[in-house]
């Protein structure tokens, strides 16, 4: 039987939390680890699709070793699980609740919920978590965790969010991603962060990627 890919869904009902950036940079990280990666852009804003197209390679279907899957061409979302050519598929979802989110959650191995360390973003997490818990009734092996993203250096609010979520027994990844204009700038310059000399940005994404891998594969500690 062909091996199924690991599917990671990046979701948060609120916009502006860095879902697209996180989806793309994590895909690039896993590619550097030798994984065959694909990304699915369901966000109507189409940030990732536009970035792929701007590279002008293979009709806009490949960027930094990561392949873009045309979601509209899929006849059934379960077809994603049959894409055995890939080791990993990351799905970038839109910033609102739409009818296909729950089915996407149900076929995923892991849901990543990125949030900025702000009151509004923190409050908006709850609706996404509710959808994940509903998906767990269909897929009891589904895992999910919060990524503190676009964190401003010196801010203490991320620790308050972490503390509150931990009280609820919700996984919060230890690695936090900073508010870095470099992530966007490199992509606009048609570069992956892993093809640059930006060691700080590479280190953040690499640590988070390794932590996510351990979490999914149960090879690392799941201490919150």
Segment-wise mean pLDDT, segments of 10 residues, the chain, 224 residues: 86 87 92 94 81 61 80 87 94 75 90 91 87 90 94 80 90 91 73 86 95 84 44
- Residue 14 phi, psi dihedral angles, 5° rounding: -100, 140
Q: Is the residue at 81 inside a domain?
A: yes
* Cβ-proximal residues to 141 (8 Å cutoff; 6+ apart), any chain: 109
pLDDT confidence of residue 56: 52
Tokens read off for 40: 């699915």
Looking at the whole model, is its pTM more than 0.85? Answer: yes
CATH code of the domain in which 57 resides: 3.40.50.300
- For position 47, what pLDDT does the model report? 81
Residue span of the structural domain in which 134 resides: 6-217
Spell out the residues 6+ positions from residue 167 whose beta carbon is closer than 8 angstroms to its own: none
Cβ contacts of residue 65 below 8 Å, gap of 6+?
A: 28, 31, 37, 192
- Asked whether 157 and 118 are in contact (CB, 8 A), the reply is yes
Residue 169 falls inside a structural domain: yes
Let me know if residue 116 belongs to a domain: yes
CA R_g for the chain: 16
- Residue carrying the six token digits 């609102």: 96
For position 215, what pLDDT does the model report?
Answer: 96
Kindly state whether residue 223 falls inside one of the protein's structural domains. Answer: no
The domain total for the chain is 1
> Two tokens at 191?
């570069």
DSSP state of 5: P
């Amino acid at each position: 039987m062909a091996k199924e890919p690991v599917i990671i869904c990046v979701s948060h009902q609120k916009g502006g939390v860095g879902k697209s950036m996180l989806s793309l940079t994590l895909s690039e990280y896993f590619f550097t680890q030798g994984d065959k990666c694909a990304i699915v852009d369901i966000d109507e804003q189409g940030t990732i699709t536009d970035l792929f197209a701007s590279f002008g390679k293979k009709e806009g279907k490949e960027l930094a070793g990561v392949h873009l899957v045309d979601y509209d061409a899929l006849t059934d979302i379960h077809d994603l699980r049959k894409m055995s050519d890939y080791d990993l598929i990351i799905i970038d979802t839109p910033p609102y609740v739409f009818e296909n989110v729950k089915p996407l959650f149900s076929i995923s191995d892991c849901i990543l919920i990125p949030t900025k360390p702000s009151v509004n973003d923190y409050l908006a997490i709850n609706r996404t978590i509710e959808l994940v818990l509903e998906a767990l009734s269909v897929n009891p092996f589904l895992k999910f965790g919060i990524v503190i993203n676009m964190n401003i250096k010196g801010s203490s609010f991320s620790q308050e969010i972490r503390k509150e979520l931990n009280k609820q027994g919700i996984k919060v990844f230890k690695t936090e991603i900073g508010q870095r204009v470099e992530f966007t700038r490199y992509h606009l310059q048609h570069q992956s962060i892993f093809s640059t000399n930006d060691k700080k940005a590479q280190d953040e994404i690499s640590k988070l990627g390794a932590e996510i891998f351990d979490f999914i594969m149960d090879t690392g500690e799941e201490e919150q």
